[in-house]
């Protein structure tokens, strides 16, 4: 394998890590937002829930921003084609996501119950919609996305918004939402006590059961779909455009990587183990353990999807041979190499100071802390 091919694989893996980071960290905050109205019955309880993630949501959200930046830098054609193709979906995502920072900063500035009630609904929408959209976008990859290129790499998207709402995509969207609700509930358990803890505990178990069921259904469902197989082209580590390869569409082909490399089955196993473990941990009121098992569930689910699609990243249903793979959509060798250097230094640094920030703010958030107002002030 050439250095360029190795760099392409490294960036494919790094993108996976970023997506997992996004799912775990942003998913947890969005989960808290989505279940806010359920776990918090009074204004004070809702403020407790918000202040559990209050010191961290800002830093966590950067996983999302960095995810966008990293796709742009490492796989510019994916960034360009997917984001413009999924235009209405991206707008839904953006418009709901940009309300969230305002929710945190503005909700508790005014005492009016009507004002706060509006923001509580904003938290619900800006938590649920993006997570469903993320999952549904992933689900659509397994159907292929209706786009093609002209000779100069201008991309044309020929599908409709409603076409993205097919049953498999909706199932994937609900799976993603269920996992984030589960993580949100476990996060509330980590930081709250008494009645809130109990409500979150019930919800975490319910969400885990839903997630297990959906993930289990998705397995045979994917097998029944038409999968893509790369049968010819310039191959790894060769500068190319997406106009130079041939792709076959075959029944069940999405599972061919698992057939070829049985060790990959560990990924869905990790997914199930994480969800089942989180369920049991929530039942046993051990939320910190449950949170880590929930993170494992995300790693398993995203890893499973990535392994099934490999080497495809954005399959085209209009012309399967124009599908984007990591080989034909990555940046140049020079860019990937420089970016690996930056990632090798800064990703561990970010993980280190993020852990420190969580450690500094560890512990439960009490009602007394909020009414005293010297910290935990959302």
Partner 1 sequence: MMVNGTVVALSRIQFAATALYHFLFVPLTLGLSFLLAAMETVFVTTGKPIYKDMARFWGKLLMINFALGVATGLTMEFQFGTNWSFYSGFVGDIFGAPLAIEGLMAFFMESTFIGLMVFGWERLSKGQHLAVTWLVAFGSNLSALWILVANSFMQNPRGAAFDPLTMRMQLTSFPQLIFNPDAQSKFVHTSVAGYVTAAIFVAGVSAYYMLRKRHVELAKRSFRMAALFGVLATIAVITLGDALGFVDARVQPTKLAAMEGLWKSEAAPMPFNLIAFPSQAQRRNVADVRVPYLLSLLVTHSLTGTVPGADALERQAVSRIEDGIPAVQALHVLARNPTDAAALAEFDAHRKDLGYGFLLERYAPDLNDASPAQLERAARDIIPPVAAVFWSFRVMVALGLLMLAYFVIAVLYTLRNRIQRKTWLLKTAVWMIPVPFIANEAGWLVAELGRQPWTVFDVLPTWMSASTHSVAYMAFSLIGFVVLYSVFIAVEMYLMVRAIRLGPAEPGDAGGPGSQVRPSLSPRPLPAAPYGGRLEG
Residues 338-377 that bind partner 1 (CB under 8 A): 338-339, 342-343, 346-347, 350, 353-354, 357, 360-361, 371-377
Nearer to partner 1, 54 or 135 (CB): 54
342: β partners: none
Query: Using the rule CB under 8 A, is 245 a contact of partner 1?
Result: no
Query: Rounded to the nearest whole angstrom, what is the least distance from the CB of residue 116 to partner 1 in the complex?
Result: 8
User: Measured from the CB of residue 97, what is the shortest distance to partner 1 in angstroms?
Assistant: 6
CA distances from 232 to 229, 247, 354 (A): 9, 7, 44
CA atoms of 349 and 261, how far apart (whole Å):
34
Q: How big is the site for partner 1, counted in residues (CB under 8 A)?
A: 84
Q: Specify the residue, 255 or 350, whose C-beta has the smaller distance to partner 1.
A: 350
Tokens of 86: 């999924």
Residue 109 Cβ vs partner 1, minimum distance, rounded to whole Å: 5
Asked whether position 56 contacts partner 1 by CB under 8 A, the answer is yes
- The verdict on 99 binding partner 1 (CB under 8 A) reads yes
With CB under 8 A as the contact rule, the residue among 140, 155, 245, 317 that binds partner 1 is: 155
Q: Does 141 bind partner 1 (CB under 8 A)?
A: no
Compute the distance between CA of residue 346 and CA of residue 334 in angstroms, rounded to an integer.
19
Choosing from 110, 217, 224, 269, the residue that interacts with partner 1 (CB under 8 A) is: 110
Q: How far is the CB of 143 from partner 1 (least distance, A)?
A: 21
Taking CB under 8 A as the criterion, the residue among 69, 193, 217, 259 binding partner 1 is 69
Q: Whose structure tokens read 């089942």?
A: 276
Establish if 265 lies at the interface with partner 1 (CB under 8 A).
Answer: no
Query: From the list 170, 213, 243, 340, which residue makes contact with partner 1 (rule: CB under 8 A)?
Result: 243
Output the CA–CA distances (angstroms, integers) from residue 247 to 79, 92, 236, 240, 305, in the order listed.
21, 32, 15, 15, 19
């Amino acid at each position: 394998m050439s250095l360029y091919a190795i760099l392409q694989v490294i960036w494919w893996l790094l993108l996976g890590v970023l997506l997992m980071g996004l799912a775990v960290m942003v998913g947890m905050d969005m989960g808290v937002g989505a279940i806010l109205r359920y776990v918090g019955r009074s204004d004070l309880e809702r403020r407790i829930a918000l202040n559990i993630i209050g010191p961290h949501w800002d830093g966590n959200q950067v996983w999302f921003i960095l995810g966008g930046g990293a796709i742009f830098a490492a796989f510019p054609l994916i960034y360009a084609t997917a984001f413009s193709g999924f235009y209405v979906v991206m707008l839904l995502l953006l418009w709901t996501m940009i309300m969230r920072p305002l929710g945190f900063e503005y909700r508790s500035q005014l005492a009016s119950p009507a004002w706060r009630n509006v923001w509580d609904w904003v938290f619900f929408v800006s938590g649920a919609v993006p997570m469903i959209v993320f999952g549904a976008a992933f689900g659509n990859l397994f159907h292929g996305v209706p786009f093609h290129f002209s000779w100069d790499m201008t991309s044309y998207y020929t599908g409709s918004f409603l076409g993205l709402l097919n049953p498999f995509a909706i199932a994937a969207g609900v799976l993603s939402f269920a996992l984030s609700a589960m993580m949100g509930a476990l996060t509330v358990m980590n930081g709250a006590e008494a009645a809130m803890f109990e409500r979150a505990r019930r919800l975490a178990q319910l969400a885990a059961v839903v997630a297990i069921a959906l993930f289990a259904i998705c397995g045979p469902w994917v097998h029944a779909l038409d999968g893509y197989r790369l049968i010819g082209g310039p191959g790894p580590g060769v500068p190319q455009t997406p106009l130079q390869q041939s792709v076959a569409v075959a029944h069940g082909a999405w599972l061919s990587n698992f057939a070829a490399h049985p060790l990959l089955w560990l990924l869905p196993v990790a997914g199930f183990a994480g969800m089942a473990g989180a369920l049991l941990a929530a039942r046993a009121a051990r939320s910190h353990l449950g949170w880590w098992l929930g993170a494992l569930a995300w790693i398993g689910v995203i890893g499973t999807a990535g392994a099934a699609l490999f080497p495809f990243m954005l399959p085209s249903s209009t012309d399967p041979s124009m599908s984007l793979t990591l080989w034909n959509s990555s940046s140049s060798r020079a860019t990937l190499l420089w970016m690996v250097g930056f990632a090798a230094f800064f990703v561990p640094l970010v993980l280190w100071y993020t852990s420190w920030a969580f450690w500094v703010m560890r512990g439960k958030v009490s009602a007394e802390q909020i009414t005293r107002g010297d910290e935990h002030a959302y």
